[in-house]
Amino acid sequence: MEIDLEKENKEILRRYRKLLRDAKPIMQEGDPQIIKKAFYTALEAHKDMRRKSGEPYIYHPIAVAQIAVEEIGLGTTSLVSALLHDVVEDTSLELRDIKRDFGPKVAKIIDGLTKISGVFDSRSSLQAENFRKMILTLSDDVRVILIKLADRLHNMRTLDSMPRDKQLKIASETIFLYAPLAHRLGLYAIKTELEDLYLKYTNTERYSSIAQKIKQTQAARDKFIRDFIVPIHDSLTKAGLKFTIKGRPKSIFSINKKMDKQGIGFEEIYDLFAIRIILDSESDQEKSDCWKAYSIVTDFYKPSPDRLRDWISTPKANGYESLHTTVMSSSGQWVEVQIRTQRMDDIAEKGYAAHWKYKESPNNANGKVSTKVSGLEQWIQKVRDMIERNDYSALEFVADFRQNLFNEEVFAFTPKGKLVTLPNGSTALDFAFEIHTEIGVHCLGAKVNHKLVPLSHKLNNGDQVEILTSAKQKPSEDWLKFVVSSKARARIKDYLKDDRKKIAAEGKSIVERKLKQIKKDFNAESLQKMLSYFNAKNAIELYIDVAKEIVEAKDIKKAFEAPVHVSSKRITEEVIAVNPDTAIKQIQDGGGLVIGDNLKSVDYSYAKCCNPIPGDDVFGFVSVSEGVKIHRTSCPNAVELMSHYGYRVIKVRWANQTDLPFQAAIHLKGADRVGIINDVTRVISNELKVNIRSILINTNDGVFEGKITLDVQDARQFDRLCMKMKTIPDIISVSRII
């Protein structure tokens, strides 16, 4: 296909000029020249490069800069960094060139955005290493993360042109790390779009179905919203409040999540949208105006007492502020109402960048507004604390980062009334370590709301906690089973590591003495013999076992009397460790793996965690020791596998014909009446001629739930069976068990 270069150049300039127009409000003296220089540097560096879609590569950095300015609200330094974010990684330009031409700040940001190069073995995760490198720069400059989110958002928006295996890998990384990170930085709009795009590429059918149904119900929804807000609108106006009201549909991702969690269809979800009241208030009137608006709403509609959320008095850790209530409309439908000010809405949509805009604004520079960003500052401080622990492996770092910094919070109080914020699910022991490491190390128990509780007691919002300590108390391995905060886990691991060192030193002395007795030298050869004989992973493990008398000192002599043999298991593992990379290349070069072609040129098996059947959307994962594992893209483990080890994911497709039966399981729920199980088995066996392998049914208070395992030919037959079973009278829900 012939490329019209003149047309492309005009389009590049059009996009660049739009970027300049949108960036005008943030520009200071000298900024246009710097931006122009960055644009032409990027244009020259990427001049011979094209994206998978065939478009000029420069479209991408311009789009990332556009998102950074327009959708996040960042400044000139970020815009320049966004334009140049790929030049060091993908072109001949080096970091020192960037530093020379654009200064150390831009160079630092681009360094944080540049992926790690080098060779990684099959057990490590390149994705995790890159994520850790990027997060390390958060300590210096949060703009690295914000530009990375802009970069990821544009990649997700243009994922259509990528091959299927790359789509799955990028989408899984996004839902695993980047969407939660956007949420934590308060970028609600970006987080929502990333989640929706993830669903679009991993479960296209469900995404399209929900999107279509939202579109079909749009007119009815608009009419409902108009009728709902009429009385509120008049009363808010009479109260002298300046405001705007809008209806916001729930995201496709959140609707899908609710459908899966509750096992219900689209039609059964009542809260498809929320009403948002945005007030134009002075900073010192914000709280009282929001509660005034709440009072007006509840004058007309009865609120659900369990559904009031006051995020204004106690903002979320990402700085989110809003009043949420759910009220009963005159048509008998529950409606969520969100009440917030314009400042709060900006922060909810644009997050971190909006915080600092309001914090630095001379109109909002009073102490009250500044303190409202402290939750986010505390979160960033926690990230810095994590970063200081540099003995993490990359995967441990990512796991800890997700667990502690993406979770919602629980708020508890000290006996003197000081507020302590912890990750959701935290225990009394987490609370102790949050107060002080020494208190945590010697924590014996706690009093929660004046009642004695064990260390593992989970805290609830509003609990008042008093920690009990003892000088004799010390951490044990068991403590790691019930703490969730990164601070507590890190301190316990540090203590246990020091303890292990002392025990290992003691064991080493015993080994040295015993070797002296039997007249053997203490060297590498002797150590290898003992490790092989006692099947110990390493010298430290052996010394600890000796110190704890798991290995008795008198048995050390036997290690030198036993015949020498090499463990075949170890050799196998070493050979296989190289194979995944070779296997991946061979399969990818061959156009992917075809399941059921009877060639069996590749050893593959079906993952037990999700039991795929023909017709399911699947991918292959090259394992270290069990060949290729076939997983469904909706498998509970899919996101983690693809986000950590995306380079081991391969394209897989089903052969056109397969006569082998596949196991699949159905979860049934219904009213418990005489003959209902007979109706179910009749439909399965007689009408659809499907073999039943097992049935397990429980009944409780007139409702039955059950699991039926079947032999099916493919996903189409399974879906047909589920649809047929939903037509049986008194069946409430039918769903597939993963």
What is the domain-level CATH number for residue 680?
Answer: 3.30.70.260
Q: What is the token pair recorded at 625?
A: 């020791």
209's tokens: 């179905």
Beta bridge partner(s), residue 703: 671, 700
**Residue-wise pLDDT tens digits, 617-662:** 888 888 766 778 889 888 888 888 887 777 778 888 887 655 667 8
Q: Please write the tens of the pLDDT for every residue from 91-133.
A: 888 889 999 999 999 998 888 887 654 444 444 456 666 666 6
State the residue range of the domain holding 685.
Answer: 662-737
Whether residues 328 and 200 fall in one domain: no
Cα 616 to Cα 395: distance, rounded to the nearest angstrom:
30
Token pair belonging to 487: 């601070």
Q: Which residues contact 649 (CB under 8 A, 6 or more apart)?
A: 165, 168, 169, 619, 620, 621, 641, 642
Encode burial over 328-348: b for 16+ CB neighbours within 10 A, e otherwise. Answer: eeeeeeebbbbbbbebbbbbb
- Which DSSP symbol is given to 120? -
54 found inside a domain: yes
Residue 511 structure tokens:
């080994």
181 and 245 together in one domain = no
Helix axes 218-238, 286-300, angle to 10 degrees: 120
**What does pLDDT average to over the chain?**
81
Contacts of 688 (CB under 8 A, 6+ apart): 717, 720, 721, 724
Q: What does the alpha-carbon distance between residue 428 and residue 454 come to, in Å, rounded to a whole number? A: 8
DSSP 56: B
Are 250 and 129 contained in the same domain? no
Residue 37 sits in a domain whose CATH number is: 1.10.3210.10
Domain count, the chain: 5
Residue 127 resides in a domain: yes
Same domain, 176 and 68: yes
According to DSSP, the residues that pair with 731 across neighbouring strands are: 670
Q: Quick one: 229 and 284 in the same domain? A: yes
Residues 548-576, mean pLDDT to the nearest whole number: 59
Query: What is the CB neighbour count within 10 angstroms for residue 182?
Result: 28
CA distances from 46 to 35, 67, 155, 222 (A): 16, 20, 17, 46
| pLDDT computed for residue 280 by the predictor | 93
pLDDT (tens digit per residue) in 346-385? 888 777 666 666 655 544 434 444 444 456 666 666 666 6
Classify residue 690: in a domain, yes or no.
yes
Q: Which of 89, 121, 512, 555 is catalytic?
A: 89
Same domain membership, residue 194 and residue 80: yes
Query: Last residue of some domain: 171, 188, 206?
Result: 206
The 8-class DSSP code of residue 81 comes to H
Across the beta sheet with 662-671, what order do the strands follow?
691-700, 703-712, 662-671, 731-737
Q: Are residues 198 and 236 in the same domain?
A: no
Q: Is residue 83 part of a domain?
A: yes
Q: What is the number of residues in the chain?
A: 738
Last residue of a domain, one of 372, 391, 417: 372
Q: From its phi and psi, is residue 163 left (phi > 0), alpha (psi between -120 and 50) or beta?
A: beta
Is 430 contained in some domain?
no
Mean pLDDT, residues 692-716 taken together: 85
Which residues share a beta bridge with 446?
A: 453, 467
The predicted pLDDT at position 703 comes to 84
Within a domain: residue 232? yes
Give the residue among 604, 616, 607, 600 at the shortest CA–CA distance from 653. 616
pLDDT digit string (tens) for 596-624?
665 455 678 888 888 888 888 888 888 76
Burial 388-398, CB ≥16 within 10 A → b, else e: ebeebebbebb
192 and 281 part of one domain: no
* CA-wise closest residue to 483 among 644, 408, 475, 283: 475
CA distance 247 to 225: 7
What's the token pair of residue 86? 């790929």
**Contact indicator for 178, 194 with CB cutoff of 8 Å:** yes
Task: Indicate whether 501 belongs to any domain.
Answer: yes
In angstroms, rounded to a whole number, what is the distance separating the alpha carbons of residues 500 and 504?
Answer: 6
Q: Does residue 18 sit in the same domain as residue 133? A: yes
Percent of the chain with pLDDT over 90: 24
Q: Are residues 69 and 133 in the same domain?
A: yes
Higher pLDDT, 574 or 158: 158
DSSP secondary structure, 243-268, as one string: EEEEEEEPPHHHHHHHHHHHT--GGG
Instruction: Judge whether 633 and 609 are in contact, CB under 8 Å.
Output: no
Nearest to 312 by CA among 335, 294, 336, 334: 294
Q: Where are the alpha helices (DSSP H) in 24-103?
A: 31-45, 59-67, 76-83, 87-90, 95-102
Q: What is the pLDDT of residues 380-410, one digit of tens each?
A: 666 666 655 555 566 666 666 666 555 667 8
- 3-state per-residue secondary structure call for 637-668: CHHHHHHHCHHHEECEEECCCCCCCEEEEEEE
Quick: pLDDT tens for 250-263: 899 999 888 887 77
Instruction: Considering the candidates 11, 22, 70, 90, report the single residue annotated as catalytic.
Output: 90
Answer yes or no: do 246 and 340 share one domain: yes
Q: Look at residue 176 in the predicted model and tell me its pLDDT.
A: 83
Q: Name the DSSP class of 687.
A: I
In a domain, 346, yes or no: yes
Residues 168 and 80 both lie in one domain: yes
Which of 517, 485, 261, 509 has its CA nearest to residue 379? 485
Q: Which of 152, 156, 116 is nearest to 134 (CA)?
A: 116
DSSP states of 501-566: HHHHHHHHHHHHHHHHHTT---SHHHHHHHHHHHT-SSHHHHHHHHHTTSS-GGGGGHHHHSPP--
Q: CA 482 to CA 77: how far, in whole Å?
A: 43
CB 522 within 8 A of CB 515: yes
Among this protein's residues, is 89 annotated catalytic? yes
- Alpha-carbon span 186 to 573, nearest angstrom: 45
Q: How far is CA 390 from CA 115, 121, 435, 490, 573, in A?
A: 19, 21, 23, 11, 29
Catalytic status, residue 626: no
Strands 309-310 and 302-303: unpaired
pLDDT attached to residue 145: 83
Whichever domain contains 224, its CATH number is 3.30.460.10
- Per-residue burial over 689-713, b if 16 or more Cβ lie within 10 Å, else e, is ebeeeeeeeeeeeeebbbebbbebb
Q: What is the pLDDT of residues 204-245, one digit of tens each?
A: 988 999 999 888 888 888 888 888 989 999 999 999 999 999
Last residue within a domain, chosen from 155, 184, 206 = 206
Whether residue 156 has pLDDT greater than 80: yes
